[in-house]
Structure 1
């Protein structure tokens, strides 16, 4: 593998990463809160609107891998693999397992409540296994909590190949693996669900590490590129990604919004370039406190969507089957405001207590 000789690297305070972190989490909650997950349109014009709305914030997942890789670059050199994973368990895996346990307990409590309210056994899990271990495995593999497991596996892969981490050839191999998942969406060589695409995300974590190593050269290049060029490129790629989603809808693909669509990969990287060029946005950092709130928002917002939002909207008896695309957009935005607002309030309350370690914040 060929290797680029890096310029002198010194540890810096990349304050602007907090702004990108806040925007990316904003985007993830925006996507997860959408009502379009539950709607299927047959008219192409409606599909375009649906796909466009879902595409707006679809850059967020890849951007998160990029900034995560950006931030862990120095950690790989400061700690042994065992020390690094030990620290990760305390600050990442521990809170992750805690909120999964909270979610399962609340979900079972909700099932029992609905059973006594309606006397309908359909609300109860068929067996104790389904209520406990079955629910646990379903939660970590088929809900939003998969991202953390995915992220940790990607880190382990980079640690295993640590001596190759700055080699271009290694990045090319990882990139080809990711593109294999992109092509698989059309040919179905293996299941296309996001839980089977774990190794498809390693390249973006690697790319973040690589960007950190050559930060001065990259930011120097970005300063020379007019912002209007990046914006036009993002708009073109947004349009192409929207059209690809519509094509996948026509092909009856289970997940037409898949993050590893090749058009979305390009869109996400350009959006990261725009955010990198914008730099530190103090207003976002002051309002959202991304460094303290981001992980907690990720861990808790799914609970709000699944168990709180559903109860808020239940009395409205909304019919998603007959909802127009415009009404679905309005409804999705309202859902987002409720979910993000409640989650942020809960996180800020937790930050005032000694329990902030349960959202990954050191005491």
Structure 2
């Protein structure tokens, strides 16, 4: 996201860096898990696992909210063509670069496995078909999917630009999102995040609407006591944990889905808390989220999928027989390695002429 030009905009947008920094920490933390869902039999162990994951489950919805918040002015300042040109330069180009890099590392890894005697299937017998399967997997079943999803959501809002501030239009988008929430219980279609093509448009729209009425929203939050927001936050967290338990009991393989109704509520309340909290200068000064966030996102999945195995596979860790505390500790270690590595590489790239690789 580009820096705003006017003093008023800069003042209003300071809080965004805090939210995007915390949200990115949450996304990397969640993706750093190496433990399959539902491996614990004891209720207390399940509670620890679910609670740990749920803590940062607001992150994706928060990102779409601030994404919409930021693009509102851009929609007004630029024509659709101008806006899309900027997106190609600052978003699509680095996304394509790192997605291609991920695929190349994957192909090299599979060739190494082949030369060591492993059966790699189509890689050596039908490489074009293997490549297409890898492309499909990368586009729709990895973290890179959310960039494509985000761009599709923006394109849809651009198409319906004249309706951006119509409440009924937002209501339609909200209903579409709720279809994905209800589907978790009825299984009308697969629940993978790649199936939620239109499930996140509402939150992008809501961010646009929030930007338009920001003064009213922030005045309301300033009048709302902290204890009330925190109480609602705790209650919504408890509901989210309970819904995950319910989905686990139903045998769901997607019990932590972002579009659970309880998690939507939790995400809204956490977002309101962060909005009321405002700017945290320490995060801006040390982690520079405005410059580094996109690079961290693009890099973190590559590190998790291609480089963390080089560290952890030789250790032959038996996650299914470890306690929830040991696995939680491993999760924190994996997160620290992933986040710090992603941040350091992004920070170094920013000092070179290759900074376009991280959207700058």
TM-score strictly above 0.5: yes
Distance 2:198 2:183 in 1: 14
Please state whether the residue corresponding to 1:40 is helix, strand or coil: coil
Q: Is the 8 A contact 2:24 2:59 kept in 1?
A: yes
The 1:37–1:92 alpha-carbon spacing in structure 2 relative to 1, beyond 3 Å, is: farther
Q: Is the 8 A contact 1:55 1:238 kept in 2?
A: yes
Q: Is the 8 A contact 1:305 1:339 kept in 2?
A: yes
1:45 Cα deviation (Å)?
A: 2.8
1:40-79 paired onto structure 2 within 5 Å: 40-79=39-78
What's the counterpart of residue 230 of structure 2? 231
What's the counterpart of residue 292 of structure 2? 293
Q: Is the 8 A contact 1:181 1:192 kept in 2?
A: yes
The 1:131–1:11 alpha-carbon spacing in structure 2 relative to 1, beyond 3 Å, is: farther
Long gaps (5+) in structure 2: 1-6
What's the counterpart of residue 104 of structure 2? 105
1:356 aligns with 2:355: yes
Distance 1:301 1:323 in 2: 25
1:175-254 paired onto structure 2 within 5 Å: 175-254=174-253
1:199 Cα deviation (Å)?
A: 0.8
Distance 1:214 1:122 in 2: 55
1:17-36 paired onto structure 2 within 5 Å: 17-36=16-35
1:113 Cα deviation (Å)?
A: 1.9
Distance 1:173 1:122 in 2: 46
Distance 1:334 1:285 in 2: 24
1:39 Cα deviation (Å)?
A: 5.8
1:12 aligns with 2:3: no
Tell me which moved more, 210-219 or 37-46. 37-46
- With structure 1 as the length reference, what TM-score do the two structures score? 0.94
1:11 Cα deviation (Å)?
A: 5.8
Post-superposition Cα deviations, 1:45-83, rounded to whole Å, max 9, x if no partner, equal: 322221111101000000000000000001111111122
What's the counterpart of residue 133 of structure 1? 132
Q: Is the 8 A contact 1:55 1:242 kept in 2?
A: yes
What's the counterpart of residue 119 of structure 1? 117
Distance 1:178 1:84 in 2: 26
Distance 2:297 2:178 in 1: 27
Q: Is the 8 A contact 1:38 1:320 kept in 2?
A: no
Q: Is the 8 A contact 2:68 2:205 kept in 1?
A: yes
What's the counterpart of residue 7 of structure 1? none
Please state whether the residue corresponding to 2:199 is helix, strand or coil: helix
Distance 1:240 1:36 in 2: 23
Distance 2:70 2:41 in 1: 43
What's the counterpart of residue 324 of structure 2? 325
What's the counterpart of residue 268 of structure 1? 267
1:127 Cα deviation (Å)?
A: 2.6
Distance 1:169 1:11 in 2: 30
Q: Is the 8 A contact 1:112 1:124 kept in 2?
A: no
Distance 1:122 1:153 in 2: 34
- With structure 2 as the length reference, what TM-score do the two structures score? 0.94
What's the counterpart of residue 92 of structure 1? 91
Q: Which runs of 4+ in 1 moved over 6 A?
A: none
Distance 2:21 2:129 in 1: 36
Tell me which moved more, 78-87 or 238-247. 78-87
Q: Is the 8 A contact 1:58 1:268 kept in 2?
A: yes
Q: Root-mean-square deviation (CA), in Å?
A: 1.6
1:129 Cα deviation (Å)?
A: 2.5
1:140-151 paired onto structure 2 within 5 Å: 140-151=139-150
Distance 2:46 2:126 in 1: 39
1:130 Cα deviation (Å)?
A: 4.3
Q: Is the 8 A contact 1:24 1:61 kept in 2?
A: yes
Distance 1:124 1:351 in 2: 38
Long gaps (5+) in structure 1: 1-9
Distance 1:97 1:36 in 2: 29
Please state whether the residue corresponding to 1:354 is helix, strand or coil: coil
Tell me which moved more, 189-198 or 169-178. 189-198
Q: Is the 8 A contact 1:140 1:146 kept in 2?
A: yes
